Amino acid sequence: MAAKVALITGASAGIGRACADRLAAAGWIVVGASRRGTAGEGWSGIAMDVDDDRSVEEGVTQVVARQGRIDALIAAAGWGLAGSVEFTPIDEAKAQIETNFWGAVRAVQRVLPTMRAQRRGRLVLVSSIGGIVALPFQGYYSASKFALEGLAEALAYEVAPFGVDVTLVEPGNISTDFTANRRTAKTPDNNAYGDALDKAIALMERDEANGPPPTTVAAAVEKVLTSRRPPRRISVGKADERIGLLAKRLLPFRLFEAAARSSLGVESHRSSP
């Protein structure tokens, strides 16, 4: 049987690269897409910018021309933006959504004609636990992932008749260069949120540094791709982070919010006017 073909966005580093390495080792034909066109051991790379319509169109066309098919898309391209909702400039917020949400949409739209023609395919969208439990001072990052969650649910209904499956992979804090590459929004000197922002992001960075490696996410992705009936969602990370997803579904929201504050590094008291 011919090897299956996987296209992975964000393959130059972090979760995307770990997925490329693991699938290539498992016998997949892997094409890793990134701005730099990075390749790895056992897999090829193409230059593809998920922020650009034409670049994605040309990249997917190139893969289909060379391989004749695409069996799986792993949409892993993304980055983080720190800052308060109030003071994050709109252009920076748009840039966050552009990559994390619209970048995935572009890739999905371009691979679907091939998957529909094949009458089979797997779409794996790398979301986040922050797409279920919102992260203070990373509101636009969470917004991009919340949007991806809703899109994937709708998409799954639409493409199921064509034999295409959709899965959201929701990592918690993972130890990758995502932490070092997180951007901080340009804010005014009198930013009222400064101390709270610094505390919340420092806590997040500590948890990321102590998180599991990206290979744990890659293992989950491979499990999804080899499953006869892939789940709609699969979370990856430490137990306490994953329990938070269940707690949000089961607890009254006030109780959940109170429990979440300390783990997210935000104060519960109201400041004086």
Task: For residue range 34-75, list pLDDT tens digits in order.
Answer: 999 999 999 999 999 999 999 999 999 999 999 999 999 999
Q: Respond yes or no: is residue 145 known to be catalytic.
A: yes
* Residue 246, pLDDT score: 81
Q: How many domains does the chain have?
A: 1
* Residue 44, pLDDT score: 98
The tokens describing 114, both together, are 């091939």
Judge whether 219 lies within some domain. Answer: yes
Q: Which of 12, 84, 128, 144 is catalytic?
A: 12
Q: Supply φ then ψ for residue 161, to 5 degrees.
A: -60, -15
Judge whether 247 lies within some domain. Answer: yes
Judge whether 251 lies within some domain. Answer: yes
Q: Please determine, for residue 129, whether its predicted confidence score (pLDDT) is greater than 90.
A: yes
Q: Please determine, for residue 257, whether its predicted confidence score (pLDDT) is greater than 70.
A: yes
HEC per residue, 46-90? EECCCCCHHHHHHHHHHHHHHHCCCCEEEECCCCCEEECCCCCCH
Q: Which of 73-87, 179-193, 196-210 has the highest mean pLDDT?
A: 73-87
Radius of gyration of the chain (CA): 19
The packing angle between helices 215-226 and 14-25, to 10°, is: 50
* Residue 273, pLDDT score: 45
Q: Please determine, for residue 272, whether its predicted confidence score (pLDDT) is greater than 50.
A: no
Mean pLDDT rounded to a whole number for the chain: 93
- Tell me if 142 sits within 8 A of 134, measured CB to CB: yes
User: Among 59-63, 235-239, 267-271, where is mean pLDDT lowest?
Assistant: 267-271
Judge whether 269 lies within some domain. Answer: no
Q: Which residue has the tokens 């969470």?
A: 142
Provide the 3-class DSSP secondary structure of residue 26.
coil
Q: What is the mean pLDDT of the segment spanning 30-37? A: 97
Kindly state the greatest CA–CA separation across the chain.
69
* Residue 270, pLDDT score: 53
> pTM, whole model, 2 decimals?
0.92
Q: Which of 44, 128, 145, 235 is catalytic?
A: 145
* Residue 1, pLDDT score: 66
Judge whether 35 lies within some domain. Answer: yes
The tokens describing 52, both together, are 């650009």
Domain that holds residue 180: 5-264
- Residue 14, Cα to own-chain centre: how many angstroms? 11
CATH number reported for the structural domain that contains residue 214 in this entry: 3.40.50.720
Q: Which of 34, 140, 141, 235 is catalytic?
A: 141
Judge whether 178 lies within some domain. Answer: yes
Q: What is the mean pLDDT of the segment spanning 132-147? A: 96
Judge whether 111 lies within some domain. Answer: yes
* Residue 195, pLDDT score: 87
pLDDT band at residue 2 using 50, 70 and 90 as cut-offs: confident
| Distance from C-alpha of 231 to C-alpha of 103, rounded to nearest angstrom | 23
Q: What percent of the chain has pLDDT over 70?
A: 97
The CA-based angle 200-147-35, given to 5 degrees, is 80
Q: Please determine, for residue 78, whether its predicted confidence score (pLDDT) is greater than 50.
A: yes
Judge whether 12 lies within some domain. Answer: yes
Q: What is the mean pLDDT of the segment spanning 249-263? A: 80
Q: Which of 44, 84, 127, 144 is catalytic?
A: 127
Q: Respond yes or no: is residue 141 known to be catalytic.
A: yes
